[in-house]
Amino acid sequence: MGILDRAKRIFKANINAALSKAEDPEKMLTQIVSDMQEQIVKVRQQVAAAIADQKKIEKQWRQYEEEAKTWQERAKLALQKGNEELARQALERKNQARELADEFKIQLDKQTTAVQQLKESLRDLEMKVEEARRKKNLLIARQKRAEAQKRIHDTIAGMKEGSAFEAFERMSQKVDEIEAQAEAAEELAAEKEDKDLEKKFRELTASSVDEELEKLKAELQGEKPADPVEAELQELKSEVEKG
């Protein structure tokens, strides 16, 4: 039994949760006000029926009141005519009518009280329905405003939780990284160009040094004293070429 009771409670809770989720306040408020108006119609019908019963009881009470008075007058008439037995019978009928009149009076008082209570209940219900009708539009407006606020907050939360801003930040960092890489490549290219230029200047400088070295060698040779043997050989070589 414990398991069955628990299963019933769980099932009932799930059903209630599903119904609560499916409820649309605007539709429910409209339906509730409509149901209230239908209840007013039924209460009015009940009040009308109770008033009709009151009128009927009152009519019967008055009828027996009149009947009791009539038999009272007949008893007097019988005594005046010297017919005591007839007067006694008339009094008996009067008493019967009086008893019925008293009983109907009791019922009439109860019915009058019931009708008054029903009328008060009807007025209270009408006031509540009128108040509910006035509040319905206000509650619907509050519902729509709350739903709009919830959608806004859900959207904002979704943007935060859905990493939209994180993705934007990643893209921003990616752009920064690309710019940094571009600047590094530009800097490396500039450094390479500077190195090539420096190399060219070094080559020019080296060539100039070699030329200066050769020139310096020639100058040194021009300043060196002439070797007699070498001079003689040169002179002999020149004569041979001429002869």
The answer to whether residues 1 and 100 touch, using CB atoms and an 8 Å cutoff, is no
Percent of the chain past pLDDT 70, that is, above it, reads 72
2 pLDDT above the threshold of 70 = no
19 pLDDT above the threshold of 60 = no
pTM: 0.48
Name which residue leads in pLDDT, 69 or 34.
69
Q: Would you place residue 131 in the very low, low, confident or very high pLDDT band (cuts 50, 70, 90)?
A: confident
C-alpha distances in Å from residue 237, one per residue of 134, 224, 227, 228, 242: 141, 21, 15, 14, 9
221 pLDDT above the threshold of 60 = yes
Q: Which residues of 90-103 are buried (b: 16+ CB within 10 A; e: fewer)?
A: bbebbeebbebbee
Regarding the domain delimited by 10-159, which CATH topology (the fold level of the hierarchy) does it fall under? Helix Hairpins (1.10.287)
Q: What is the pLDDT of residues 171-217, one digit of tens each?
A: 778 888 888 888 777 777 777 776 777 776 666 665 566 777 777 77
- Single out the residue of 174, 172, 171 nearest to residue 182, CA to CA: 174
Domain ranges for the chain, please list them: 10-159
51 pLDDT above the threshold of 80 = yes
User: What burial class does residue 162 get, using C-beta atoms within 10 Å of its C-beta: 0-12 exposed, 13-18 middle, 19+ buried?
Assistant: exposed
pLDDT of residue 125: 87
Instruction: Quote helix, strand, coil % in the chain, to nearest 5.
Output: 95, 0, 5
How large is the average pLDDT for residues 89-106?
95
* Window from 85-89, 103-107, 187-191 with minimum mean pLDDT: 187-191
How large is the average pLDDT for residues 97-112?
95
Contacts of 25 (CB under 8 A, 6+ apart): 139, 140, 143
